[in-house]
Structure formats: structure tokens, C-alpha cells
Chains A and B, each alone.
Chain A
Amino acid sequence: MNSKWLIALLTSAYALAQDPRQIMEEVQKRAQSKSQQYEGTLEVVDAKSKVSTKRWEYSRLGAFGNSKSVLRFTAPAEVKGVALLVHNHPDRSSDQWMWRPAIERDQRIALQDRSTRFFGTDFSYEDLEERDVNQFDFKLLGEETIDGKPCWKLESRPREKKVSQYTYSHLWIRKDNYVYTQIEAFNKAGLARRIKYTDIQNIQNIWTARTIEVFDATKKSRTTLKFEKLQYNVPLDDSGFTLQALRRSS
């Protein structure tokens, strides 16, 4: 590579790096895919070290700000078939519905309930939404090293139209591949959740964390989500992301 080119690239990257919005847009751009599918294993360890494990299948169609996703539990048997349908919107908070096959009922998850825990895990319903860059304001706080990797530390605050339980969040973005490595989400009381992204691998040219660990600062419990059979840009049909589809598949 020509040294001039190298200097130009470094200069532009540095300039890019100084603008938090551009950093986040780059994060979003690099994670962009038409669809995504994986099988997840969820392990919840409560404050008394009691462990419960569940498995789910996840499909997403569309990208940031305009996507639809379905999360369906597959194990254990008592919870098999319970599903969550999420419709993300670019200009407002997502719509979410829960499907429970045992009573054959769908139930809309109200905005007010997004801060509650997702089925006893340490994720909240809001944490399962996609973070569209256009719904937040960002500020660059500095640079820090996380797990030996240099990162930008940013602060994000939800814009007016975005209903969020969090007043602000701290985001750590790896400089080398523009991937989240840690998020600390704060509410009025202080730190609410810490989300750590590890086992980051390049899958179909998209740097992806294969393990996400959520720590609930209030309850001192921990949930670990591991991704398996992760694929991007798989062909998915829009009709599979409706309430009717949820009902049909139960």
C-alpha cells in the first residue's frame, strides 16, 4: 500500500473517530445485514447462584431502524413455543407482542413494560430492541482499553421520541472493528445493567460477539446469551414476522 494512501486513510479514520455520531453510524453500517438467524442458549444465574438454562431461536428481517424479529423459545419443554415478535421502527419505539401457545394468546407488550425483565432474565424488553443510531444523541467521552483492545467510550442519550428506561448509557466501541464491547446503562438510580460482548468473531464479514453477558446491578444476577449457528443474509419471508405467523406455528 502506498504510504500516501496510508496517511490519507489514517487521517480520515482519525477525523471519523473524533465525531461520535459518525463512529456510531459506522458501527451500524458495519453490522448491517438483510437478515439474521441464530440459536441462542440463555443461562441465568441469580444472586443465590441458582442457574436456569433456556434455548431459543432467533430470526431477524431488515436492518437497523426498520426490522422485524421473532424470538422463539425451544427448551425446556414447559416454555417451548413462547415467542416474542418485535417490529422496530425508525421514528419511534418498537412494537412488541408475546405469544403463549398454552393459552393461544398474543399479548402486546406495552411501552410502559419495556423496562421490566424479559421472562426472568436480566435483559429487559427494551434491551432486545435494536439501537438505531438515529434515536440517540452521542458524546465522545474518551478512549479506554477493554479486554486488551483500545475502545472509544461514548455516552448515548435517547432522543425525545424514543421511550427508554435509561437516562443515558456508556458505550465502548472497539477501534479496530467498530464492535460493541461493553455497554453500561444508567437510570435515575444509577447503573442499571452492564452488558459485555465477548467471543467476537468475523462471521460472513460482520464482526459479531457470540457471547453477551448481562449483569443486573440491582439484583446482582447475571444472564449469559451464547449464539450458535449464526448466519447473516439468509432468505426470510416477511410473512413469517406477523402475529398470524406466530399463531400458525404454535
Chain B
Amino acid sequence: MTLLRLISFQYVRKHKLRWLLTLAGIVLGVAVFVGMHTANQSVLRAFHQTIDRIAGTTQLQVSAGEAGFPEEALETVQNSPDIRVAVPVIEASVNPGRGNLLLLGVDMTGDRSLRDYDLENNNDDAIDDPLVFLAQPDSLLVTRIFANAYGLKIGDKLPMATMAGPRDFVVRGIMQSGGLASAFGGNLAVMDIYAAQKLLGRGRRFDRIDIAVREGVRVEDAQANLQKLLGTGYLVESPGARGQQFESTAQIYSLVSSITSMFALFVGMFLIYNTFEIAVSQRRSEIGILRALGATRSQIRTLFLGESVVAGLVGSVLGIAFGLLLARGIAAYVGTMLSEVYGVAQNVEDVAAEPWLLAAALFVGTLTSVLAALIPARDASRVDPVKALQKGKLQLIGQGENMRRRIGAIVLFALALGCMSMSYIRPLFYLGYLLAIMAAVLFAPTACNWVTRTLRPLMKWLRPVEGALAADSLIESPRRTSGTVTALMLSLALVIALGGVARSSYKSIQDWLVIALSPDLFVTTNESLTSRSFVFPPEIGDGIATIPGIDLVQMVRTVRINVRNTPVMLVCTDIASVARKIHLPPREGDPDTMYQEAAKGKGVIVSDNFALLRKYKLGDIIELPAPDGPLRMPILGIVIDYSDQQGSILLDRELYIKHWKDTTVNVFRVYLQNPTFEPSVRAKIQEMYGGRTRLFVFTNQDLRAYILKLTDQWFGLTYVQIAVAVLVAILGIVNTLTVSISDRKRELGVLQAVGGLRNQIRGTIWMEALAIGFTGLVLGLVVGAIQLYYTLEISRTDVAGLRLDYQYPINIAAVLLPVILGAAWISALGPAESAVRGSLVEALEYE
């Protein structure tokens, strides 16, 4: 502690900027870690809170997937001797033009047994007149928060487009804040369930039944009995279990955020390593004096490790603070995206980190710093006191050490190749990935040296004096630059990998769009195609089909169902009709017979990502949870289909209607006899149904643009990752140059003393910066090629099930060249000026 105070603190005070830049690596890594995880947790917490608040005192919930189930199930449940109260619920996310509103359709006669609508003043008269509320289907009960936000009072009207046409809803009750009224951030409205059925086009179906069991009956027993009574087509679970499905969809973001933050920390580790290595070199005389005064090697090692702990703690605390600021923005983004992509409504009210996360961040940040300082601390403890007290001599990496690293790199790389050949064993695959990166890290100093030596003639040709000086400085001081180049290499490799995945995904999705989205028009109930709150009756499709100029109308019902505990998309349509128009690229199965057989209801066709993620093969039997019992169907074909990120299952509509007893439709896919009929048919559809029901007509181009917008949103986080990686790369260059200039103050002073011009010194530093940037870029582009392979594999097998082609992102590489060289040069401006404007005498006396 005394050494830390007397020696380390003084050193840090003298090199504040350098330490700040060093800490930036930890700050950034921890900030990304805290920010992304806090955002994820907040989104999940908001979802759970909404579930809890809506659930009220509900102990069990009965559901049968997104399509819901026929009303008759309610009576079965209510007649169960274990049940005290069973009330039906419909939940829908609607947008009445005042932001997203969670609409809860409940049976007002019995629902108050489970939910309290007016917690604040315990006044039952939240509804102005219960009879009028029930008698009028336009009755709405809103929260005080919502009413205040939009200046609504009892009797005011709220217009909304419904399946029964545009309607003015009347606010007939206001719930006071708290409990149910605070669900979904208070953006909640309650209406009668039977009115909701009509207005949402749901027919005589419920989404779920909320249950309270009789006194003296164990919830587990009631659950088991009810499950037996209803059959396996229904799911009887606690309200909390609903959150698990959402968690599985949000899991993907958790994985992505973990990878990014860990990568940022990994890169930060090299920045710290670099700084400590240079600090050890610079402070060797100080270390020598300490050793000469009797300090043991262990004390020196502890001194440097102590510094790293302090640096780690400070960096982590700053990172946590910064991360919490980031979290709010990320939470809003992730929340919106989950709502857009998955149609899962939630609203993030408050963003707060859990204590364990902050503790983990503090631990990981500090550990990173300590790990980074291990080798420099060891080097410091090995400083020879005699050599250390000789001025102007730096200890270089020994040939032996370099050789050991090279051999280590080759061994690790060979092992990585071995693991790659057995990548079907996932732990081995990930081990191989780690080994490959470690091999690249170990090989980086050697590769850095090779690249710099190769560059030297070019640099000398460009600027004979400055080029040669800069190249020699880099060649002779590999320890000073290798850490930065490694950090740069890793960051840029990440950029290449992420960019490659994005590019491949875009191309694959665009190719799929050309094949799958062949209809000329799409008629939907929502502006957002992922929302399935409103549904059409099939009769509208029959009506549309009578419009002159229309060749074919396909009715599509998409519902999310749980398969192997993961929500996947069930796409139900007339398969024979689909086969007439499109053949999705087959991955497995006979492309001709699979559609014929599926059209006869003899099986299903699944998407490749579904098969990959859920480990299904051609011919496997898949169990679909239909309300009348599990529907076991063989997989007749596996096709490339990007309809849903969790995978899709194509089922014939007739079979769906038979087992789900649901005739509703989400989308009518309309083919025209001639594309030129598009404006007239579109206008006719609007004319026929626009005023009668809620209806949106999209052209083929509209839909493609919408899907690409969703794809952009999905890759939004990838772009954030790329930005973080580039930022870290730039940070590395600035760090190295700042450190390098102060490290070489004396050397640069000598150069000036022997006649070196200021411009030459400046030019040397610029050239050095450009060389570091270029070397890091070259290595990054090479390692990026490996990283891209692993990222595509992870994406294929563990994240999205997307079998993407390996496409090196040459465009991104081309952009990176000027960006990194430009950043390197800009980073060099400050340090170069500092080098040429400093006092010559002071520089010569440095150290």
C-alpha cells in the first residue's frame, strides 16, 4: 500500500492522459457489458411486471398457443371442482394513434375476483356505470396514467380502427394508478371480452383463461388435474411461466451482448497490457532503485498487480456509470425491436441494473485488468537492478520468448484445426474458436514484425528519413506496439466478421424475398406485419377474389406455437395453391412431392433454420400442440424460408382449421392477372372493405421494404458492435501513440539535438501511426477471415439457424482502410505536436 501511494500514485499523476486512455479500454468493455445486460434485464423485467400486474391473483393460466381456443373450454374449466374462479382473457397490442396500448379483454362479470381495477382508493366505482359499460361494446376502461397523458376523461372518445370498421371508443371508467393499472407502463385499456372478440375479429375464441383455485386445493394438484381434463393441446401453467417464452426470444440478444462486451474487454486487456509493458520499461530505473534498496521480486510484482487492481476498479466503476446511461437507449431499442420483430408487446418503464450484474461487472473489469498486468508484472519483477540503472537502454523481447510464442501459436492453431474437424461437438467447436483466436494473439507480434519489415522499403521510399525512422522504431520496439496492433487486429477482425454476417444475411434474405414474396398485393389487418392482434374472417378473402383482374387469393394464418419449448411460427395456407406459384429453395426432400403430400395434409414442410435450431431431420415426426390434442406430422421437406427468426412450419390450412377450429386469416396474398391492374385492384379492395373493416393493402415493393427495414433493425445491434469495435481500434492507436511519444521523449529529443527538423519528427510520428494502423488492419483483415467463419457457424447452429454463404465483406474492408489510416493519422496529430513542441532540455533529461 505504501509503495502504491509513494510510487504508483506519483507515476499515474505524471501520466494522467495515458492512464485515462488505458482505463478507456476497461470503461468501454464494462460499459457495453453493463449497458446491454441492464437493457436486456430491464426489458425482461418490464415483460414480467406486465404479466404479474395483469395476472393479479391468478394462480394458473390455460392457453393453447397464439391462436387461442374455442370458448367451450371455459365451461370445462369452470366446472372443475378444483377451480374457484376461471375467467377468460384476450390480450392484444393495438395502436389507437397514441402509441402502443395493451388492450385487455376480460369478462367484467367475474374478472374482479382476480384483478383489482382500482387499487388506489379501493373504490369499486372505477367504471361509471357497469351496466352501460357492458351494454355498449365501445366501452373502455383506461388507466389514470393513460388518461392524463392524453387528456382523457369519462365520456371522452378514443377512435380506433377495428375489424368492425372505424369505431369511437368511449372512456367509461378510469383506473387509478397501481397494480393492474401500472402494467405496460400504464398504457393499458380494459374492455369487455365479448366486445373485444368482435372488434379484433377473433370469433368465439379466447386467448387464455386465468384461474384461482379453491381454498384447500394445492395449485400443483389443480394444475395436474386441469391438464388431464383439457388434454395436451392446452397448456396449464403459472403466470410466470409465460415469461419463459419471451426470455427464449430475448436470449439471442443476451448472447450477442455478451459476445460484444467480452470482446471489448478482451481488446481492452491488450490496451492495459500495452500500457503496463511500457510502464515497466519506463520505470525500470525506478524498479532498479527499489530492488537495490532491498525490495523483493514479489513486492515489485505485487506493486504492479496492485496498480492493475486499482486501474481495474476505477475503470469498472466508470464503465458501470457509463453503461447505466447507455442502458436506457439500448432498452428502448431492444423493446421496440422485440415488439416489431416478434410482435411481443412490452414497455420498459424503469431501467435499473441488478446488484449481481454490477458486482459481476466490477469483478470482470478488475480481473481483466489484473490478467493484462500479469506478464508486465512478471517482467518488472525480473528487472536486473544493474542494467536498469543504466540510462537509455530498453530490454527487448528476447528471441527465446518470440520463438516460444511462435511455437505456441502453431500448436494452438493445429489444435484449433483439429477441433474444427469435430465441430459437431459444440464444446469442441467453441474451444477451437478460442484456440484460433489465442493462436492469432500469440502470433501477432511476429506477424506485426513481418508486416513492418515488409513496409519499411515502402515507407523509406515515401519519406526517406521519417519512413526509415518510423519503421525502425516499430521493428526495434515490438513490445511497445504489439499490444496495440493485437487490439487493433482483434477489433477489426470483429468488424469483418460482423460485417460479413450482415452482408451474407442481407444477400440471403434478398434472394429469398425474390422467390417467396411473389404476390402482387398483400392485404393485412395491421401496418405492422408482425402484429397478429387483429384477424380477418375468411369471407373477406372470398370477396376479394371476386374483384376483376385478380388471378388468385391465398389465405394465410400465421400463429406462434411452442415446439420443444420455443415459440416458432406456424404458417397455415392452402399449400396446393402456394405450390402453384412458388417453390421455396429445398434443402432436403423432393421439391415436387413435398408440396403435393403436404397439400394432402400428410405432413409439414419446415424451414431450414427451424430444423437446424431444433435438431430436426427430414422424415422426423414433429408434434404440433393443437387445442384438440397434439398433432403428429412427419417432416416432408426442409426449405429455405426466413419468415421467422425462430423458424417456421408450413401446414395446410384445412388441417389447421380442423384441429385449431380457427378459420381466421392474417394475410391475403393476392396475385393479379396482370401487374398493371395493381392500382385499380388496390383501390377496389379499399372501396369494398376500407370503411367496413380494418384493412391495409401493401404492394410487393412495400412489403419488401418493410422486411428489409426489420432486417435493418435486427442488425442494428450488429452495427452498434461494429461501432464499438472501430472505437476500440481507434482508442488503441491513440493510446499507443500517446504512450509511445512520452516513452520516446528522450529519443526524440536526441533526434532534434542532432539536427532533426520539427517536420521530420512530426512526419516520423505520423508515419509510425500510419504503419501501426496499416499493420493492425492487415492482421485484422486476415484474422477477420477466420473470425467470420466461426461467426457464421455460430449463427447457423446456435443463434439463428441461418445457413449463410461465406462472403468476405470486401466493401467493409475497403472502407476500413481509409477509416483506420485516417484515424491513425488524426490520433498522431496531438502526440506529434507534443513531441515537437516540448522543451529539448527536458526531453534530454527525461528518465
**Complex contact B134–A119 (CB within 8 A):** yes
Which residues 84-124 of B have a CB within 8 angstroms of A? Answer: 84-86, 107, 109-110, 112-113, 123-124
Which residues 185-229 of A have a CB within 8 angstroms of B? Answer: 219
In the bound complex, residues from chain A placing their C-beta under 8 Å from that of B136 are: 78, 102
Q: For B74, B130, B137, which residue has the most chain A Cβ atoms within 10 angstroms? A: B130
**Complex contact A110–B129 (CB within 8 A):** no
A230, chain B: closest CB distance, angstroms: 23
B190, chain A: closest CB distance, angstroms: 15
A82 at the interface (CB under 8 A from B): yes
B132 at the interface (CB under 8 A from A): yes
**Complex contact B84–A112 (CB within 8 A):** yes
Residue contacts A-B, CB under 8 angstroms, 19 given = A47-B123, A48-B125, A52-B129, A73-B131, A76-B132, A78-B132, A78-B136, A79-B135, A81-B135, A82-B134, A102-B137, A103-B137, A109-B109, A110-B110, A112-B78, A112-B86, A116-B113, A119-B130, A125-B109
**Complex contact B86–A54 (CB within 8 A):** no
Which residues 102-130 of A have a CB within 8 angstroms of B? Answer: 102-103, 105, 107-113, 116-117, 119-120, 125
**Complex contact B135–A78 (CB within 8 A):** yes
In the bound complex, residues from chain A placing their C-beta under 8 Å from that of B194 are: 100, 103, 105, 107
Q: Which residue of chain A lies nearest to B85 when distances are taken between CB atoms in the complex?
A: A112
Known: A112-B78, A120-B129. A100 touches B134 (CB 8 A): yes
Known: A78-B132, A79-B132, A102-B135. A120 touches B78 (CB 8 A): no
1/0 contact string of B193-214 vs chain A (CB within 8 Å):
0110010000000000000000
In the bound complex, residues from chain B placing their C-beta under 8 Å from that of A25 are: none
In the bound complex, residues from chain B placing their C-beta under 8 Å from that of A76 are: 132
Known: A79-B131, A79-B132, A100-B135. A116 touches B110 (CB 8 A): yes
1/0 contact string of A25-65 vs chain B (CB within 8 Å):
00000000000000000000011101010100000000000
A-B CB proximity, top 5 nearest: A120-B130, A119-B131, A113-B110, A79-B135, A78-B132
Q: Which residue of chain B lies nearest to A108 when distances are taken between CB atoms in the complex?
A: B75
**Complex contact A82–B109 (CB within 8 A):** no
In the bound complex, residues from chain B placing their C-beta under 8 Å from that of A111 are: 78
In the bound complex, residues from chain B placing their C-beta under 8 Å from that of A50 are: 125
1/0 contact string of A78-100 vs chain B (CB within 8 Å):
11011000000000000000101
Bound: A98/B127 CA distance, A: 19
In the bound complex, residues from chain A placing their C-beta under 8 Å from that of B113 are: 112-113, 116
In the bound complex, residues from chain A placing their C-beta under 8 Å from that of B124 are: 219
Bound: A48/B124 CA distance, A: 12
Bound: A30/B61 CA distance, A: 48
Bound: A112/B125 CA distance, A: 21
A176, chain B: closest CB distance, angstroms: 37
Q: Among B78, B127, B135, which residue has its beta carbon within 8 angstroms of that of A110?
A: B78
A100, chain B: closest CB distance, angstroms: 6
B126, chain A: closest CB distance, angstroms: 11
Q: Which residue of chain B lies nearest to A115 when distances are taken between CB atoms in the complex?
A: B113
Bound: A117/B113 CA distance, A: 11
Q: Which residue of chain B lies nearest to A106 when distances are taken between CB atoms in the complex?
A: B194
**Complex contact B198–A103 (CB within 8 A):** yes
User: CB within 8 Å of B: which residues of A?
Assistant: 46-48, 50, 52, 54, 73, 76, 78-79, 81-82, 98, 100, 102-103, 105, 107-113, 116-117, 119-120, 125, 219
**Complex contact A98–B109 (CB within 8 A):** yes
Q: Among A47, A52, A113, A219, which residue has its beta carbon within 8 angstroms of that of B109?
A: A113
Bound: A67/B463 CA distance, A: 109
B260, chain A: closest CB distance, angstroms: 51
Q: Which residue of chain B lies nearest to A120 when distances are taken between CB atoms in the complex?
A: B130
In the bound complex, residues from chain A placing their C-beta under 8 Å from that of B110 are: 110, 112-113, 116
Known: A110-B110, A117-B130. A82 touches B85 (CB 8 A): no
In the bound complex, residues from chain B placing their C-beta under 8 Å from that of A112 are: 78, 83-86, 110, 113
In the bound complex, residues from chain B placing their C-beta under 8 Å from that of A107 are: 107, 109, 194
A44, chain B: closest CB distance, angstroms: 9
Q: Which residue of chain A lies nearest to B212 when distances are taken between CB atoms in the complex?
A: A112
**Complex contact B195–A103 (CB within 8 A):** yes
Interface residues on B, range: 20 to 34
**Complex contact B135–A82 (CB within 8 A):** yes
In the bound complex, residues from chain A placing their C-beta under 8 Å from that of B83 are: 112
Bound: A156/B135 CA distance, A: 35
B129, chain A: closest CB distance, angstroms: 6
In the bound complex, residues from chain A placing their C-beta under 8 Å from that of B127 are: 120
In the bound complex, residues from chain B placing their C-beta under 8 Å from that of A78 are: 132, 135-136
Bound: A52/B136 CA distance, A: 17
Known: A103-B194, A108-B75, A110-B86. A116 touches B109 (CB 8 A): yes
Bound: A73/B198 CA distance, A: 23
Q: Among A47, A54, A116, which residue has its beta carbon within 8 angstroms of that of B112?
A: A116
Known: A98-B109, A112-B78. A120 touches B137 (CB 8 A): no
Q: For A76, A107, A110, A111, which residue has the most chain B Cβ atoms within 10 angstroms? A: A110
In the bound complex, residues from chain B placing their C-beta under 8 Å from that of A108 are: 75
Q: Which residue of chain B lies nearest to A117 when distances are taken between CB atoms in the complex?
A: B130
Bound: A105/B107 CA distance, A: 13
A42, chain B: closest CB distance, angstroms: 9
1/0 contact string of B49-84 vs chain A (CB within 8 Å):
000000000000000000000000011001000011
Bound: A47/B136 CA distance, A: 25
In the bound complex, residues from chain B placing their C-beta under 8 Å from that of A113 are: 107, 109-110, 113
8 additional A-B residue pairs with CB within 8 Å, beyond A47-B123, A76-B132, A110-B75:
A78-B135, A79-B135, A100-B134, A102-B137, A102-B195, A107-B109, A110-B110, A117-B130
In the bound complex, residues from chain B placing their C-beta under 8 Å from that of A125 are: 109
In the bound complex, residues from chain A placing their C-beta under 8 Å from that of B107 are: 107, 113
Q: For B78, B110, B135, which residue has the most chain A Cβ atoms within 10 angstroms? A: B135
In the bound complex, residues from chain A placing their C-beta under 8 Å from that of B78 are: 110-112
Bound: A98/B107 CA distance, A: 12
Q: Which residue of chain A lies nearest to B170 when distances are taken between CB atoms in the complex?
A: A78
Known: A110-B78, A119-B130. A46 touches B135 (CB 8 A): no
Bound: A79/B133 CA distance, A: 9
Which residues 160-213 of B have a CB within 8 angstroms of A? Answer: 194-195, 198
In the bound complex, residues from chain B placing their C-beta under 8 Å from that of A219 are: 124
**Complex contact A46–B125 (CB within 8 A):** yes
Q: Which residue of chain A lies nearest to B131 when distances are taken between CB atoms in the complex?
A: A119
Q: Which residue of chain A lies nearest to B83 when distances are taken between CB atoms in the complex?
A: A112
A71, chain B: closest CB distance, angstroms: 12
Bound: A116/B111 CA distance, A: 9
Bound: A117/B127 CA distance, A: 13
In the bound complex, residues from chain B placing their C-beta under 8 Å from that of A54 are: 131
Bound: A54/B127 CA distance, A: 16
Q: Which residue of chain B lies nearest to A102 when distances are taken between CB atoms in the complex?
A: B137
Q: For B78, B112, B124, which residue has the most chain A Cβ atoms within 10 angstroms? A: B124
1/0 contact string of B123-157 vs chain A (CB within 8 Å):
11101011110111100000000000000000000
**Complex contact A120–B131 (CB within 8 A):** yes
A113, chain B: closest CB distance, angstroms: 4
Bound: A81/B137 CA distance, A: 14
Bound: A245/B479 CA distance, A: 94
Q: Which residue of chain B lies nearest to A73 when distances are taken between CB atoms in the complex?
A: B131
Bound: A79/B75 CA distance, A: 27
Bound: A249/B2 CA distance, A: 95
Q: For B110, B123, B195, which residue has the most chain A Cβ atoms within 10 angstroms? A: B110
A130, chain B: closest CB distance, angstroms: 20
In the bound complex, residues from chain A placing their C-beta under 8 Å from that of B130 are: 117, 119-120
Q: For B85, B112, B194, B198, which residue has the most chain A Cβ atoms within 10 angstroms? A: B194
Bound: A91/B112 CA distance, A: 29
Bound: A81/B78 CA distance, A: 27
Bound: A88/B321 CA distance, A: 68
In the bound complex, residues from chain A placing their C-beta under 8 Å from that of B86 are: 110, 112
Bound: A3/B110 CA distance, A: 59
**Complex contact A82–B195 (CB within 8 A):** no
In the bound complex, residues from chain A placing their C-beta under 8 Å from that of B74 are: 110
A20, chain B: closest CB distance, angstroms: 30
Q: Which residue of chain B lies nearest to A107 when distances are taken between CB atoms in the complex?
A: B194
